[in-house]
Amino acid sequence: MSGKNLGLEAKLREDLKDSLRKGDKTRLSVLRMLLSAVNYAQMAKQTPMEDPDVLGVIVKEIKQRQESIEAYTKGQRPDLVSQEQAEMEILQSYLPKQVGHDEIVAAARAAIAAAGAKGLQDKGKVMPRLVAELKGKADGKEINAVVTDLLSGK
């Protein structure tokens, strides 16, 4: 494995072993949970997980942490908020660098041109290819908003 570019799932497994050796309990717990979620998604998909699929699982787990943080903040549980934030930071370290709004707009324009989209009725042709391209690098809601704005002529 050394010298090879590891896939994301393999990197997670290597980091799990590392955390076990170092005794980093928080990171170990997060990686175990994440690998379990990846395995569950792989069973549901019934095909091997590619890096974009694993990124999708990581994004889903981050969103769950954000929702928990909001709930714990409302419930005045700062101890649980800090735990969820620590877990979220570990998860975010596995995401690629997030793209900015301008990069999303540029990618959306390219996808619209490639799909030959003329208006909002062609949004279904643009979104799948753009979401696949930006998976894990940008929020789906922001991608949707940019495509809607561009296709509606705003």
Specify the residue for token string 């549901």. 44
The one-character DSSP state at 47 is: S
Joined tokens for residue 151: 């296709």
Q: What pTM, to 2 d.p., does this model score?
A: 0.72
CB atoms inside a 10 Å sphere around CB 70:
12
Give the span between the Cα atoms of 24 and 66, in whole angstroms. 22
Q: Which domains does the chain have, with CATH numbers?
A: 8-92 (1.10.1510.10), 101-151 (1.10.10.410)
Give the span between the Cα atoms of 51 and 90, in whole angstroms. 17
Name which of 116, 127, 111, 134 is nearest 52 in CA terms.
134
Residue 6 has what pLDDT? 63
Residue 5 has what pLDDT? 44
46: left (phi over 0), alpha (psi -120 to 50) or beta: left
Residue 140 has what pLDDT? 83
DSSP character string of 83-104? HHHHHHHHHHTTSPPPP-HHHH
Joined tokens for residue 142: 């922001």
Residue 4 has what pLDDT? 41
Joined tokens for residue 45: 């998909």
Residue 1 has what pLDDT? 36
**pLDDT by residue, tens only, the chain of 154 residues:** 333 446 899 999 999 999 999 999 999 999 999 999 999 999 998 888 888 888 889 989 999 999 999 999 999 999 999 999 999 999 999 988 888 889 999 999 998 888 888 888 888 888 988 888 887 788 888 899 999 998 887 6
Pair 50, 10: CB distance under 8 Å = no
Give the span between the Cα atoms of 42 and 46, in whole angstroms. 6
Give the span between the Cα atoms of 1 and 81, in whole angstroms. 37
